[in-house]
Structure 1
Amino acid sequence: MEKDTNGMKVILHIGAHRTGTTSFQAYVRRNCDFMRTRHIGFWGPLRTRKGLFSGIQPGAGVGTRSARRARGRVLLQMNKAERNGTTTLIVSDENMLGTMRRNMRARSLYNDVGERMSRYAAAFDGQIDTVVLSVRALNHYWRSAASYCVARGHSVPTPDQLGRVAFGPRTWRDVIADVACAVPGAKIVVVPFERTAGRPDAMFRAATGLYGPRNAAETWLNRSPTAPELRNILANRGDNPDWISGLSPRWTPFDPAAAAALREAYMDDIHWLTAGADGLATLTEDLGQRGAGQTLPHGPLTRGQGHDDQERRMAEPG
């Protein structure tokens, strides 16, 4: 369906890591007065996971009728927001993209994102203007995903399973292509996590084009547990803590060859994006970050981990 170009602008923020996404959501809530004066509305997990999106994705007892009801709820709330003067609506929920637990089980990067995003596009009645996708270096993404899952009761992945992850064919390029096909007509904006790490104001600029209030300090929410913390978690539940190896404060589950393969795959993705991404997406680079340009800054690549979330806010079994 053709979008109503005279109506409210809808921006989906689907960051793939919880450190950046939850920091961005906290930033938006903290600056509600700034948002209100600029007629910018916001739907985050506190709204989307309380029934608004229920029925959009398939599951037990979820069928076509549930999807129609979900679409009706979304459109009703959109119309209400527009009547209240909202001209731009930001919707931010990392679970729209999928969950890390699903990725770890499949040993693949968001392999069902096309189907998922097409259902969200239908729920928003084709009125999505922009999709902002935050990506992260694959070796750090998968390390963080593994830490998150182990901390929540999953088994420590075996070397064979980690090898399937590291040398698998699917990368961010495939995810971006699937999203672009699922939400036709929407602008796809890709933001490297390394450029907005601890800087949700930069993510806000990438999403809206506006300069929001500056942070007083870098914001790093919901980091994944350290290696010592993971060992304590395993010991407390009766598992062998030595399964988390290494002397580094951060767990490094991948061997050097696997980590190198993941780094190379990510740099291939960045080069593809820099070259124009076949017209599918736009890489946002100039966000005022140190070392701006086509070469990613080195520091943030080795700093911090994401993907943690409060369990009570998880939307789907992953």
Structure 2
Amino acid sequence: MDVILHLGAHRTASTSFQHYMRANIARLERRGVGFWGPLSARDEILTGHISRGTRESREEQIAEAQAQIVAHLDQIYERGIMHLVVSDENVIGTPYENLHDRQLYGAIGERMARYSQIFGGRISRLVLSIRSQDIYWSSVAALCVKRGQPAICSAAVAALANARRQWRDVITDLACAVPEIEIQVQPYEVFGGMPEQRLMAMTGVTGLPVTHAREKLNRAPSLSELRKILKERGEDPGVLPAGEGRWYPFNRDQIMALREAYADDLFWLRAGADGLATLIDETASAKAGRHPPVDDATRGQADGKENRRLA
């Protein structure tokens, strides 16, 4: 049985993908595809996997969680599940941690090494979605305001625009932590609005349902929504720029620098990623000469030009 760990990242339509999987669980299981979402992964299946206390107690926790995992995997295999997708983007960190640290998933290696251990060598594939850094950070900044954090300051904006750590570094750390596991990278600009295509690329299973495949969850709040949130909290909405639509905290030069960093990441991936990961930058529909459904897959972009250039 393939055990496929979908790591997110955040702000790459992970919540919409998880909704699609839950909404189609019966149909997917008939195709031999099972699903553990964040609730199962955090609260039921993996209870106790977060290490605390002494070294001995941590080892006991890991052993207990590993036994629990193996038992669950054996049970679902007996039900005819050939591909299990485990999706939990918080495995690799959180948006707030990234914004606070001014970098992309700085602890991903340590986190993934511990997480993979409790699967007892059963993980077949890791799937990471990436997104152009200017849109990723804009979306994270808006989400953090929605969740009670102050609007990002100009110094933080400049630090993000000049950050040295990019997706290439995230992928390298991930590969170093679990060198024996295949890593698949799916750009948001290709797969963000098509969860069934994302799942097909993960598993190789065809004939997947499209029911609930175009439902969008957990979008970043717009500027008007953010101003309303700040006002209701008694904070000054004037810290945000005027206008409507997406909040871009970066200026034009900063946006171009972040987009160039993403282009460099994609170039490295297309060149083979030093053998560490495989880039999947075309859907099955495109390979077959069919156009994927025209949908809001480019949501969050300033216009359509960026997707055509980067995807």
TM normalised by structure 2 equals 0.87
Note if contact 2:13-2:188 (Cα within 8 Å) is conserved in structure 1: yes
CA shift digits 1:185-242 (9 cap, x unpaired): 2111100001112211111111111221235763321101111111111111111101
Note if contact 1:19-1:222 (Cα within 8 Å) is conserved in structure 2: no
CA shift digits 1:288-316 (9 cap, x unpaired): 567999xxxxx9786238xxxxxxxxxxx
Of 71, 92, 98 in structure 1, the residue corresponding to residue 93 of structure 2 is 98
Of 8, 17, 21 in structure 2, the residue corresponding to residue 15 of structure 1 is 8
Note if contact 1:14-1:93 (Cα within 8 Å) is conserved in structure 2: yes
Structure 2 match to 1:191: 186
What does 1:175-186 correspond to in 2, within 5 Å? 175-186=170-181
Provide the C-alpha distance between the structure 2 equivalents of 1:44 and 1:240, rounded to a whole number of angstroms.
37
What does 1:23-172 correspond to in 2, within 5 Å? 23-58=16-51, 63-172=58-167
1:250 counterpart SS class: coil
Aligned residues: 293
| Larger RCO, structures 1/2 (Cα 8 Å, 6+ apart) | 1
Structure 1 range deviating more: 274-283 or 61-70: 61-70
1:17 counterpart SS class: coil
Provide the C-alpha distance between the structure 1 equivalents of 2:143 and 2:184, rounded to a whole number of angstroms.
26
1:184 counterpart SS class: coil
Query: Cα–Cα, structure 1 residues 215 and 39, in superposed 2: closer, same or farther, change >3 Å?
Result: closer
Structure 1 match to 2:202: 207
CA shift digits 1:106-159 (9 cap, x unpaired): 111000000011111101112211111111111111011111111111111111
Structure 2 match to 1:285: 281
Note if contact 1:286-1:292 (Cα within 8 Å) is conserved in structure 2: no
Structure 1 match to 2:307: none
Structure 2 match to 1:5: none
After TM superposition, where is structure 1 displaced by more than 4 Å over at least 4 residues in a row? Answer: 59-62, 288-293, 299-302
| Percent identity of equivalent pairs | 43
Note if contact 1:194-1:300 (Cα within 8 Å) is conserved in structure 2: no
Structure 1 range deviating more: 23-32 or 189-198: 23-32
Structure 2 match to 1:224: 220
TM normalised by structure 1 equals 0.85
Q: Which amino acid aligns with 1:195?
A: V
